[in-house]
Structure 1
Amino acid sequence: MARLFGDRIMLREYRRDDLPWIRQWVNDPAIVSNLSDIFLYPHALESTEAFLEAVIEGSSDSRGFVIADLESEAYIGQVNLDSIDWKNRAGSIGIVIGSSEQLGLGYGTEAMRLLIRFAFQEMNLNRLQLEVYDFNDRAYRCYVGCGFKEEGRLRERQYKNGRYVDVIQMGLLKSEWKEDVG
């Protein structure tokens, strides 16, 4: 997959030497509390290695990129397109910034905009979708700023942090997307 370049970051291929960086966040409660329940239990080194190897080898259903510093190519996070439906030209986005220190610095927004442009212009997808928890205001603002619209709300769908929370479903259509926004 081609590299995508932004102002401060690049979206690049996964590498085996990304493993320590992924291992840093994959069991970090501050990071995974905003992610799906696949992170409810600790992830063993072997499962992280298997994920990374599947992505590198192309045997994973996930297609994606490492979010990396533009100059050093150092790992910041990752953004993936999952569940690509080629017939209907739709895909689901998942994104994670791998350390608390790098949250809120705009890396996620820049990565989303690069991925959206790639998905619509190069992959010819027509629809992108994602889910976000109602308490994740930072991510919600990012997605709205990139052009996503709230399409539905699964009320009290997930039990997180001692309470039931809504899962907000969001989508962006190619016809709605404007490159200056996204």
Structure 2
Amino acid sequence: MSSAWTGERVLLRGIEPGDWQTFKEFDEHAPDMRSGDMLHPPQSDEAYRRWTADEAARRPDADSDSYRLAIVSRKDGTMVGTLNTGDADRRAGRFAYGVSIGHRYKRSGYATEAVVLMLRFMFGERRFHKCEIGVYAFNEPSIALHRKLGFVTEGRLRDHEYFGGRHHDLVLMGLTAEEFNARHAFLSVDSPVHASSAGD
């Protein structure tokens, strides 16, 4: 496969208006919401339709380093999760991102491959030097995933977030372009594109 956004198991694409039902399904599962963000009050179907339509209409310009993508299974075309980048500091060369996989699709290697595709683009095409993330300490599967990808724990913010009636720590992790390249290798301009297919 020659697309930079396609791996062996997943492809990354823009948000489509019809994705609203998938976003609603993800939001109705409390652990999914807490692992990526926090619990929110219920929304109407119309609110989901409008939000998704707005996301679908948003087109990043050539210099944008903030975007949201759908993670889609190549096997059957099902949207299995989302990935977004943000907090980009081009002067310092760092950015952040978030990834979320729906509970029915976890442990299938989707997050690993999607993240590798995104990091290849941000490091190898956008010339960023470092990716920095924060993971809630109770989200042990996400911490394990990022360690497997090569992220290093750089710190811990104690009692930083409040969920389920108590405070929780936020684990800070980082990965440099050199560390990524040592594990996954950048692609030459004529190389076929395949991300790591390790499980998550």
TM-score, length basis structure 1: 0.86
Residue of structure 2 in register with 1:29 after alignment: 30
Show structure 2 runs of 5+ residues with no match: 185-195
> For residues 49-92 of structure 1, what are the alpha-carbon distances to aligned partners after superposition, in whole Å with 9 as ceiling and x for unaligned?
44423332226884032110114332010111012223333221
2:130 to 104, 112, 127: 127
Determine if contact 1:157/1:165 at 8 Å carries over to the other structure. Answer: yes
Offset at residue 178 of structure 1 (A): 2.6
Determine if contact 1:5/1:11 at 8 Å carries over to the other structure. Answer: yes
Query: Are the structure 2 counterparts of residues 169 and 41 from structure 1 closer, same or farther at C-alpha, using a change threshold of 3 Å?
Result: farther
Residue of structure 2 in register with 1:145 after alignment: 148
Residue of structure 2 in register with 1:54 after alignment: 54
Determine if contact 2:158/2:170 at 8 Å carries over to the other structure. Answer: yes
Residue of structure 2 in register with 1:176 after alignment: 179
Determine if contact 1:27/1:43 at 8 Å carries over to the other structure. Answer: no
Offset at residue 154 of structure 1 (A): 0.5
Offset at residue 93 of structure 1 (A): 0.6
Residue of structure 2 in register with 1:5 after alignment: 6
> For residues 89-127 of structure 1, what are the alpha-carbon distances to aligned partners after superposition, in whole Å with 9 as ceiling and x for unaligned?
3221111112x2211222111111111111111222111
Which one has a larger percent strand, Structure 1 or Structure 2?
Answer: 1
Residue of structure 1 in register with 2:191 after alignment: none
Offset at residue 3 of structure 1 (A): 5.7
Offset at residue 48 of structure 1 (A): 3.4
Structure 2 counterparts to residues 111-126 of structure 1, below 5 A? 111-126=114-129
Provide the secondary structure at the position in 2 that maps to 1:4.
coil
Aligned partner of 1:53: which letter? A
- Once the two structures are overlaid, the 10-residue window that deviates more, 132-141 or 2-11, is 2-11
Query: Are the structure 2 counterparts of residues 85 and 51 from structure 1 closer, same or farther at C-alpha, using a change threshold of 3 Å?
Result: farther
Separation in structure 2 between the aligned mates of residue 78 and residue 179 of structure 1, nearest angstrom: 26
Greater C-alpha Rg: 2
State the aligned residue count: 179
Determine if contact 1:153/1:168 at 8 Å carries over to the other structure. Answer: yes
Offset at residue 174 of structure 1 (A): 1.0
Aligned partner of 1:13: which letter? G
Of structures 1 and 2, the one scoring higher in RCO (CA 8 A, sep 6+) is: 2
Give the alignment's Cα RMSD to 1 decimal. 2.3
1:95 to 77, 99, 117: 99
Determine if contact 1:3/1:10 at 8 Å carries over to the other structure. Answer: no
Q: Percent of aligned positions with the same letter in both sequences?
A: 25
